[in-house]
Amino acid sequence: MKRRVVILTEIIAPYRTPVFNALAAHPDVDLHVIFLSETDPGLRQWQVYRDEIRYSYEVLASHRQRMGSFSVLITRGMRAALEKSSPQVIVAGGYNYLAMWQAQRWAGAHGVPFLLWSESNVGDARRNFWWVEAAKRKFIRSCQGYVVPGSSAAAYLKTFGVAERRIFVAPNAVDVGRFARAADAARGETGLRKRLGLPERYLLFVGRFVQAKGVFDLLEAYAKLPREMRQAVGLVLTGDGPEREQLAERSRKIESGSVVLTGFLQRDDLPAVYALAEALVLPTYSDTWGLVVNEAMACGLPVIVTRAAGCVTDLVGDGENGYVVGVGDAEGLSAAMSKVWGAPDLRERMAQRSRARSDRFTPDRWASGMADAVAGLMGEQRG
209 falls in which pLDDT band (50, 70, 90)?
very high
Phi–psi pair at 167, nearest 5 degrees: -105, 130
Whole-model pTM? 0.93
Name which of 8-17, 26-35, 66-75, 210-219 the model is least confident about: 66-75
59: left (phi over 0), alpha (psi -120 to 50) or beta: beta
Q: What is the mean pLDDT of residues 89-104?
A: 94
Residue 259 pLDDT greater than 50, yes or no: yes
> Which residues lie below 8 Å from residue 165, measured CB to CB, with a gap of 6+?
none
Q: What is the pLDDT of residues 38-55, one digit of tens each?
A: 988 666 778 889 999 999
Closest CA to 287 of 302, 267, 303: 303
Task: Tell me the C-alpha distance between 280 and 11, whole Å.
Answer: 26
pLDDT of residue 73: 85
Q: What is the pLDDT of residues 102-128, one digit of tens each?
A: 999 999 999 999 999 999 887 664 566
pLDDT of residue 195: 84
189 falls in which pLDDT band (50, 70, 90)?
confident
Full set of structural domains in the chain with CATH: 3-173+362-377 (3.40.50.2000), 176-358 (3.40.50.2000)
Q: What is the pLDDT of residues 331-371, one digit of tens each?
A: 999 999 999 998 999 999 999 999 999 999 999 999 999 99
Task: Tell me the C-alpha distance between 320 and 302, whole Å.
Answer: 9
Task: With beta carbons less than 8 A apart as the criterion, state whether 254 and 330 touch.
Answer: no
Q: Measuring CA to CA, how many Å separate 151 from each of 157, 171, 173, 272? A: 10, 9, 14, 31
Sign for the CA dihedral angle at 243, 245, 251, 253 comes to negative
pLDDT of residue 45: 74
Task: With beta carbons less than 8 A apart as the criterion, state whether 306 and 282 touch.
Answer: yes
Residue 302 amino acid letter = P
> Quick check: helix, strand or coil at residue 176?
helix
